[in-house]
Structure 1
Amino acid sequence: MTLYPIEAGNFKLDGGAMFGVVPKSIWNITNPADSNNMIDIAATCLLIEDGERLILIDTGMGDKQSEKFFGYYYRWGDDSLDKSLQKHGFHRDDITDVFMTHLHFDHCGGSVQWNKDRTGYEPAFKNARFWSNQEHWEWATKPNAREKASFLKENILPMQESGQLQFINRTGATYQDESELGFGILYVDGHTDKQMIPHINFKGKKLVFMADLLPTAGHIPLPFVMGYDTRPLLTLSEKDAFLKRAADENFFLFLEHDAHNKIITLKHTEKGVRLDQIHTFNELFN
C-alpha cells in the first residue's frame, strides 16, 4: 500500500462559525483570522494505492460552481486536485474508487463536473465507483433546512444517475473493522448523519482520516465544536470517546481541513487530551 496526500485547493471560512461558542480571543491563538474574520482551511484528500485499486478519499469543492458561490470562500493558493494527482503520476481516469466521508460540498464537489457542452453534469471520475452509505445518502438527498445549502444536488445526484454509486455494507455497529474499501470505518452523527471516518492500517500505524470530526488541530479541546454541526452535544461525546482512544492507541490523525498541521498525534494531560506531535506527510508516507 502507498498513500499520497492530494491537495484539492485551499479556502477560508468564518472563524466564529468554525468554533461555535468558543470566543475569538481563544481560538484566534491556534487559528489566526484575517481582517474579515476568516481562517485558513485546506481540502486535503487522501489517495490510497493498494494493488489494482486506486482509492480517493474526498474530492474537495471542485470548480463547477459560479464565481458568486466561490466568492464566499476566498480560495487561495494554486493547488488543485488534478495538479496534485499529476504530481504523483496519476490522472483522474486512473481512480477506481471515490470514498466520500460525507456529501457536504467541500468534501464531494470535485466528484462531479460539467459535461462537455456545459448543458448538464457528469461524474468527474469516469472509471470509479462512488461510495457513500444508505443512511447518509437519504439524509443528503432529503436535506433539512440547516444543511440544505451544503447538500447541493448537482454534486450528488449525477453519481447515482450514472450508475456509479455504491453503498457501504454497514454492519449496524458504530465502528466496523473492514469495509469494501479494505479499511475500517467509524460512523459519527454529530456533524451530519452517518459521516464516515476511515481508519487505515499503514506501515504498522493507524492513520485516521478525520474529515469533520476534527477539522483542525485547534479543535482538539472538547468544547471547540463547529457551529456547522447539526448535533453539537453529540459531537462532544463522539469527540471525547475518539480522542481518548486516539491518545491511548497512538493514532496518527490526518487533518483534512488544517492548512498548516497535516498529521498529528495526541496525548493525555491534566486538562484532557491535547496535541502531542505534528508530523509531515513525508515523515509517514515515505
Structure 2
Amino acid sequence: MQLYPIESGNFKLDGGAMFGVVPKALWQKTNPADNNNMIDIAARCLLIEDGNRLILIDTGMGNKQSDKFYGYYYLWGNDSIDKSLKTYGFHRDDITDVFMTHLHFDHCGGSVQWNKDRTGYEPAFKNAHFWSNKDHWKWATQPNNREKASFLKENIIPMEESGQLKFTSLPENDLLKNSELGFDIFFADGHTDKQMIPLITYKDKTIAFMADLLPTAGHLPIPFVMGYDTRPLLTLTEKEKFLNLAADKNFYLFLEHDAHNEIITVEHTEKGVRLKDVFTPKDIFT
C-alpha cells in the first residue's frame, strides 16, 4: 500500500462560522483571520494505492459552479486534483473508487463535472465507483433547511444516474471494521448524519482521515465546534471519544481542511487531548 496527499484547491471560510460560539480572541491564536474575518482552509484529499485499487478519499469543490458561487469562498493557490495526481504519475481515469466522507459540496463537488457541451453533468472519474452510505445518501438527497445550501443536487444525483454509486455497510455502533474499501470507518453524526472517517492501516500506523470531525488542529479543544454542525452537542461527545482513542493509540490525523498542518498526532494533557507533533506527508508516507 502507498498513500499520496492530493491537494484539490484552497479557499477561505468565516472564522466565526468555523469556531461557533468560541470567541475570536481564542481561535485566532491558531487560525488567524484576514481583514474580512476569513481563515485559510484546504481541501486536502487522500489517494490510496492498494494492489489493483486506486481509492481517492473526497474530491474538493470541483470546478463546475459559477464565478459568483466561488466568489463566496475566496479561492487561492494553484492546486488541483489533476495536477496532484500527475505529480505521482496518475490520471483521474486511473481511479477505481471515490470514497466520500460526506456529501457537502466542498467534499464531493469534484466527483461530478460538466459534460463536453455543458448541457448536463457526468462523473468526473469515469472508471470509478462512488461510495457513500444509505443513511447519509437519504439525508443529502432529502436535505433539511439547515444543510440544503451544502447539498447541491448537481454534485450528488449524477453519481446515482451513472450507475456508479455504491453504499458501504452500516455499523451496529459507530465503527465499521474492514469495510468494502479495505479500511475501518468511524461513523459520526454531529456534523451531518453518518459522516464517515476512514481509519487506514499503513505499515505500523493508523492514518485517520479527519474530514469535518476535526477540521483543523485549532479545533482540538472539545468545545471548539463548527457553527456548521447540525448536532453540536453530539459532536462534543464524538470528538472527545475519538481524540481520546487517537491519543491512546497514537493515530496519525490527516487534516483535510487545515491549510498549514497536514498530519498531526495528539496526546493527553491536564487540559485534555492536545497537539503532540506535526508532520508532512513525506515524513509519514515515504
Could you say which residue in structure 1 is the equivalent of 2:152? 152
Q: Give how far 1:173 is off.
A: 2.5
Could you say which residue in structure 1 is the equivalent of 2:64? 64
CA–CA distance in 2 between the matches of 1:234 and 1:211? 16
CA–CA distance in 2 between the matches of 1:127 and 1:254? 26
Could you say which residue in structure 2 is the equivalent of 1:211? 211
Give the 3-state SS of the residue equivalent to 2:29 in structure 1.
helix
The residue type equivalent to 1:75 in the other structure is L
Q: What do the CA deviations read for 1:4-39 (whole angstroms, capped 9, x no partner)?
A: 000000000000000000000110000000000000
Give the 3-state SS of the residue equivalent to 1:48 in structure 2.
strand
1:113-262 aligned at under 5 Å gives the runs: 113-262=113-262
The residue type equivalent to 1:36 in the other structure is N
The residue type equivalent to 1:162 in the other structure is S
CA–CA distance in 2 between the matches of 1:108 and 1:172? 26
The residue type equivalent to 1:273 in the other structure is V
Q: Give how far 1:169 is off.
A: 1.7
Give the 3-state SS of the residue equivalent to 1:237 in structure 2.
helix
CA–CA distance in 2 between the matches of 1:227 and 1:240? 17
The residue type equivalent to 2:167 in the other structure is F
Q: What do the CA deviations read for 1:81-105 (whole angstroms, capped 9, x no partner)?
A: 1100111100000000000000000
The residue type equivalent to 1:21 in the other structure is V
Could you say which residue in structure 1 is the equivalent of 2:5? 5
Give the 3-state SS of the residue equivalent to 1:154 in structure 2.
helix
Give the 3-state SS of the residue equivalent to 1:178 in structure 2.
coil
Give the 3-state SS of the residue equivalent to 1:61 in structure 2.
coil
CA–CA distance in 2 between the matches of 1:173 and 1:164? 27
Q: Give how far 1:241 is off.
A: 0.5
CA–CA distance in 2 between the matches of 1:173 and 1:36? 42
Give the 3-state SS of the residue equivalent to 1:144 in structure 2.
coil
Could you say which residue in structure 2 is the equivalent of 1:93? 93
Give the 3-state SS of the residue equivalent to 2:83 in structure 1.
helix
The residue type equivalent to 1:35 in the other structure is N
Give the 3-state SS of the residue equivalent to 2:253 in structure 1.
strand
Give the 3-state SS of the residue equivalent to 1:10 in structure 2.
strand
Q: What do the CA deviations read for 1:202-233 (whole angstroms, capped 9, x no partner)?
A: 01000000000000000000000000000000
Q: Give how far 1:170 is off.
A: 1.9
CA–CA distance in 2 between the matches of 1:111 and 1:96? 13
CA–CA distance in 2 between the matches of 1:271 and 1:186? 25
Q: What do the CA deviations read for 1:237-281 (whole angstroms, capped 9, x no partner)?
A: 000100111001100000000000000000111011100000111
Give the 3-state SS of the residue equivalent to 1:62 in structure 2.
coil
The residue type equivalent to 1:238 in the other structure is E
Could you say which residue in structure 1 is the equivalent of 2:263? 263
Count the aligned residue pairs: 286
Could you say which residue in structure 1 is the equivalent of 2:35? 35
CA–CA distance in 2 between the matches of 1:155 and 1:172? 29
For structure 1, list consecutive stretches of 5 or more residues without a partner in the other structure. Answer: none
Q: Give how far 1:171 is off.
A: 3.3
CA–CA distance in 2 between the matches of 1:169 and 1:19? 32
CA–CA distance in 2 between the matches of 1:53 and 1:162? 20
CA RMSD of aligned residues (A): 0.5
Could you say which residue in structure 2 is the equivalent of 1:75? 75
The residue type equivalent to 1:268 in the other structure is H
CA–CA distance in 2 between the matches of 1:262 and 1:72? 24
TM-score (norm 2): 0.99
For structure 2, list consecutive stretches of 5 or more residues without a partner in the other structure. Answer: none
